[in-house]
Amino acid sequence: MLKHRPIFLQCTEMLVLFAALVAVDRGLLQGNAFSGLNPNPYWLPVLAMAIAYGTGMGLVAGIIASAIWLNWSDIGPAPVDHLEQQLRLSVQPMLWMVAALVIGEVTASRMNRIADQERHHEAMDRNWKRLAEVIAHLTDTNRKLQVRIATEQRTVVQAVDAGLKLMEGDPEGRAEAIARMIALAAQTEDFTFYDVSGRQMIARFSGRAAADPPPELTRSLLAEAMLATPRSFQHDCAADQAMLAEIGIVALPVLDRDDALAAVIVIHSIIGARTTEAYMAQLRQIADLLGGTAGLFAREQEAMPKWLVPQGKVA
C-alpha cells in the first residue's frame, strides 16, 4: 500500500536502511559493497522504497545504491577491455534503476486504482446516507400526512356536528357550537368571542386555553377601530400592531345580515400555525357563516340568562 507520509520521513527511513547496510558492510565485512553476495543486500532499500512509496523514492534509493556500488565495489581482476570493465561495473546499478522504475510504476498504478475504489466507496457511502435521509424524510412526511388525513376526517365530523348544534334552539348549545367551529378554524383554543352591544364589547365565551378573565375591549383602540371600520386586524401587519397590543394576534368582525357589527372574534395565540392568507380566509368564512345564521344574535328575554352568562368555558 502506497503510504502517505511526509517526504522527510520517507527519506529518513531510506537513510536508516542504507546506514545499517553500510555499517554491516564496512564494520563486519570487507567494505566492498557486498560484491561477493548475490543478490546484493542493497536491493533491500531499493525494493522497499519502490514498493512502499512508488517510483520516485525507488529511483532515489537506486541512485544511492549505485553510488555506493561504483565507489566501493570489487568485481575482481580488471579485464583488458575497458568497455567490458565498464559494462560489468554498471550492470548492477542498471538493474536497480530498472527494477525501481518498473516496481514503482506498478505500485503507483495499483494505488491509483485503490484510491479510485476508496473514492467510489466514499461516494456510495454518501449516497446511502442521502438515501437514508430521504427515506426518513418520506417516512416522516407519510406519518404526518396520515395524521393530517385522520385529523381532517375528524375535523369534518366535528364541523358538521357543530353546524347542527347551531340550529338548536338552546343558546348555550349554540355558544358551544360556535366555540367548536372557531377552534377548528383557528387551530387553537386560545380565543375569545365578544358580543357587540352598542359601543360595548362583552366577552361571551372563550376557548379552553384562553386567559380568565379575557382582555377588556370596550375601551381599547381595537374596539374604536373595529366600530369605526369593521375589518380583520393582524399582528404581523405593522399598522395593526398597536390595536392588538396585549390583546391577541388576530381580530375578526362578525357582521350580521344587515352588515352591522354583531360580534368580534379575537385569537390570542396560535402554536404550530401561521396567519397566512389561507388561514385568514378560513377564519373569515367562519365569521361569515356565524354572521349569516338566522336568529344567532337575537336576544329573547327567556334566552338572556343562558346567553349572557355561559357556564364556564366551552369548546
Which pLDDT does position 97 carry in this prediction? 92
Instruction: Answer yes or no: CATH 3.40.120.10 is held by domain 167-308.
Output: no
Cα angle 117, 58, 71; round to 5: 175
Strand ranges across the sheet with 200-206: 200-206, 191-197, 261-267, 250-255, 233-234
Which pLDDT does position 168 carry in this prediction? 57
Query: Which helix (DSSP H) or strand (DSSP E) does residue 263 occupy?
Result: strand 261-267
Whether residue 98 has pLDDT greater than 90: yes
Whether residue 61 contacts residue 100, with contact meaning beta carbons closer than 8 Å, is answered with: yes
Render pLDDT for 270-300 as a digit per residue (tens, 0 to 9). 887 677 888 888 888 888 888 876 556 554 4
By mean pLDDT, which of 113-122, 153-162, 186-195, 200-209 is the weakest? Answer: 153-162
Burial of 171 (0-12, 13-18, 19+ CB in 10 A): buried
Ordered by start, the domain boundaries in the chain are: 7-125, 167-308
Which pLDDT does position 30 carry in this prediction? 80
Model confidence pTM above 0.75: no
Write down the mean pLDDT value for the chain. 80
Which pLDDT does position 1 carry in this prediction? 44
Handedness of CA 162, 166, 170, 176 (dihedral sign): positive
Whether residue 152 has pLDDT greater than 60: no
